[in-house]
Amino acid sequence: MKAQSTSLRVRLPVFLFVTQVITVALYAAFVTYDEHVDARFQTNRTNHIDNAVYRDYPVFTHIQVMIFLGFGCLLAFFRLYGFGGMVFNFLVATFAIQWAILVQGYFQFSYEGKIHLGVINLINAEFACAVVLISFGAVLGKTSPLQLLVMALLEVPLFAVTEWAVLRYLKINDAGGSILIHLFACYFGLGVTFVLYRPSLNKGHAKENTSYQSDIMSLIGTLFLWVFWPSFNSALTLKGDDQHRAILHTFISLSASTLTAFALSAMLNKNGKITMADIQNVTLAGGVTVGASVDMMISPAAAYALGMMGCIACMLGYKFLSPFLARHFRIQDQCGIHNLHGLTGLISCAAGICAILMANEEVYGPSLYEIFSHRAPVEGDPKLQELQMLIPGLQPGLGRTAQEQALFQVAAVFSTIGVSALGGILTGFVLKLPFLAPPSDDLCFDDKLFFDVPLDYDSPLKVYNTITTDDSAA
């Protein structure tokens, strides 16, 4: 066991140092400041209040909390794998964001041979990071840090290319990332865990359990994610009424899924008790389910209904679908990402398509062509000039009908699932290479393989009653 526990002594440092040297060289060659950061663009007429940092930084900090505290604590639910859940989340998240700034920057923020860096780049990079961390949940406790870093190294470019292609050629509406974040991350992670299938784990694992303290830590992560999810869903929406709606819809949907989760948890428990795993995961379903239509005029009632629907699908998935997939389809989904991100993501996409089909000028007014920019009239259309009188700065669109836009949404769903699943399968074969130091079956879900742990790390916390007779009498 000692040979295994020290097998990263050369491999992990070499990987990190080599990638860091390559990264700093690429930053030096291709990354510069955008106009809101570059001092050369500032004059005595510059209004510093107009700097993008005041608009984007608050949202950036909220997503930071979700990435490093929310995901980190949430993944610390195994009794003997708290270090692994939180620390590997920290490691992989930092690496993925650095890498995504370069890869996404090439596709989205590059001109004149340079990637122009601002806070908005960091927000986009953190969305790419969220994709990696969701996929990480499928293989939690069964992979080495080196495997996770390689997974991030491969997943970020595939995500960036898919995102660029879908947005550039299919031109969809996906404000909350139900297609490009949740579905991509889910099916990529399922593809990886399909290849990394471990038959012995289907029979259960002695260390695949939680403790009182680890469940509390995981719940803290849930609360961080819950509180800041409105910022996640509204970060890239149009400023103003669109962003306002996105915040309201996300909160309402999360509230609905939370209350429904408590009800279902007690109802489906044979002893009528609340199950912590349900509260840690299923309560978040509403944040995903409302994502594809979050900035649209769907009504608060619809947002509430979507939260309830997502919660029900997620709960039933945990109870029945996850065990079925593990037994019959070689998919050992450790954190149930298919339930929280896959099933709810599909419901969200269906709701978004319905909202697109029902969108018209009677409901939205002229702003219909801002929210659904590809439905705006083409260049030269007389109606475009009329709309530009009402909305100065409105750009020409593609003149799509509601039905055409809905078909492109459907195409995006299927293409994203196909590309991500295939990419996950191929990545899984790479991660099976022995020099990436995968843990053996008996050492899965155990921190001692990769960490110096306290001597009592595997002992239950003991609480001693130190109240004296005099104290109690007082």
Flag whether 436 is in a domain: yes
Question: Structure pTM?
Answer: 0.94
pLDDT score recorded for residue 458: 82
Residue 272 per-residue DSSP state: S
| Contact in structure between 337 and 132 (CB atoms under 8 Å) | no
pLDDT digit string (tens) for 77-102? 999 999 999 999 999 999 999 999 99
Q: Which of 4, 133, 131 is CA-nearest to residue 68?
A: 133
- What would the two tokens of residue 219 be? 């719940």
Flag whether 229 is in a domain: yes
Distances (CA, A) of 254 to 63, 103, 132, 304: 17, 32, 23, 8
pLDDT score recorded for residue 50: 86
End-to-end CA, the chain = 54
pLDDT digit string (tens) for 12-57? 999 999 999 999 999 999 999 999 998 888 887 788 888 999 999 9
The span from the CA of 278 to the CA of 312, in Å, is 11
Residue 316 has pLDDT above 70, yes or no: yes
Flag whether 420 is in a domain: yes
Flag whether 466 is in a domain: no
- Where residue 207 sits, what CATH number does that domain have? 1.10.3430.10
Flag whether 246 is in a domain: yes
**For the chain, percent of residues with pLDDT exceeding 70:** 95
pLDDT digit string (tens) for 138-180? 999 999 999 999 999 999 999 999 999 999 999 999 999 999 9
Flag whether 70 is in a domain: yes
33 φ/ψ angles, rounded to the nearest 5 degrees: -85, 150
Flag whether 457 is in a domain: no
The span from the CA of 42 to the CA of 331, in Å, is 54
User: Angle at the Cα of 424 (from 419 to 430), degrees rounded to 5?
Assistant: 130
Report the domain count for the chain: 1
The span from the CA of 34 to the CA of 31, in Å, is 9
User: Angle at the Cα of 165 (from 335 to 94), degrees rounded to 5?
Assistant: 45
373 φ/ψ angles, rounded to the nearest 5 degrees: -60, -25
Flag whether 276 is in a domain: yes
3-state DSSP call for residue 302?
Answer: helix
Between 1-10, 94-103, 158-167, 321-330, the lowest mean confidence (pLDDT) is in 1-10
pLDDT digit string (tens) for 353-391? 999 999 999 999 999 999 999 999 999 999 999 999 999
Residues in the chain: 474
pLDDT score recorded for residue 457: 84
- What would the two tokens of residue 149 be? 């870093």
Range of the domain at 319: 2-449
Q: Which amino acid is at 130?
A: A
DSSP states of 150-216 as a string?
A: HHHHHHHHHHHHHHHHIIIII----TT-IIIIIIHHHHHHHHHHHHT--GGGGG--TT----HHHHH
Residue 436 has pLDDT above 50, yes or no: yes
